[in-house]
Structure formats: structure tokens, C-alpha cells
């Protein structure tokens, strides 16, 4: 059974700092991995999707990497801003299934 773990569960940083969020998964047979952002009480916003054949994806200040063999992904946020404060969720799409398996998220607070 696929399990996704995100570390740390919560992170508080000063504005301007570069930071890394970690995601690990137990079964490397995945189609893709997605990083989402969730604001309190709201739905999810897709940030980056990495196909299983890819190693990384970049969008603006965000960079996500994928190492399938070791079951790890990282989300790098450069020059963090207070508006980046949210919960960041990692999810993998399993091979042979359309369902996403989510981690419990990392709650990020960027202090002005």
C-alpha cells in the first residue's frame, strides 16, 4: 500500500529565506507526483506536476525534484514571501490507478 510522508509537518521561516519541503513515498511505481497548495478552509491549487520520467519541474520561484528510485521529492521555494504561507501537499498517482495518494502536508508560515 502506497504511503506518502511529508516532513516537516510545520515550518516557520522569516521572509526572504529559501526553503525545502520534503516528500517521500513507499512504492516507486508511480505515474506522476504533484505538489499542491491549500489555503485554510479552501480547495487545492496545483503548483507543479512531475511525470515519472522527469527529474524536475520549475515554475517561477518554485522548483520540484523527483527521485523515483529512492522514493523522494523536494519542493524548493526561493525568496519566500508572506503570501507563500499555506499548507503544501504532495501527492503521487499510482501506476494502474487514477487516484492520488496524499501526504498530510507541511504547514508553512512565512513571517514578515
Whole-number minimum distance, CB 111 to another protein, in Å? 25
- State the binding string over 19-38 for another protein (x if CB under 8 A, else -): ------------xx-x-x--
How far, in Å, CA of 87 to CA of 1, rounded?
24
Number of residues that bind another protein (CB under 8 A): 24
Using CB under 8 A as the binding rule, whether residue 55 contacts another protein is answered as no
The residue among 81, 90, 76 whose CA lies nearest residue 30 is: 90
Please give the helix or strand (H or E) that residue 66 lies within, else none: strand 62-67
Q: Grid coordinates in use for 39?
A: 489555503
Of 7 and 79, CB closest to another protein:
7
Amino acid at each position: 500500500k502506497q504511503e506518502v510522508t511529508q516532513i516537516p509537518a510545520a515550518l516557520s521561516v522569516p521572509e526572504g529565506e529559501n526553503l525545502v519541503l520534503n516528500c517521500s513515498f513507499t512504492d516507486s511505481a508511480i505515474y506522476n507526483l504533484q505538489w499542491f497548495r491549500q489555503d485554510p478552509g479552501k480547495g487545492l491549487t496545483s503548483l507543479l506536476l512531475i511525470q515519472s520520467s522527469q527529474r524536475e519541474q520549475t515554475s517561477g520561484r518554485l522548483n520540484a525534484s523527483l527521485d523515483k528510485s529512492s522514493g523522494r521529492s523536494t519542493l524548493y521555494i526561493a525568496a519566500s514571501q508572506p503570501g507563500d504561507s499555506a499548507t503544501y501537499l504532495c501527492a503521487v498517482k499510482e501506476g494502474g490507478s487514477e487516484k492520488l495518494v496524499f501526504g498530510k502536508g507541511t504547514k508553512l508560515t512565512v513571517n514578515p
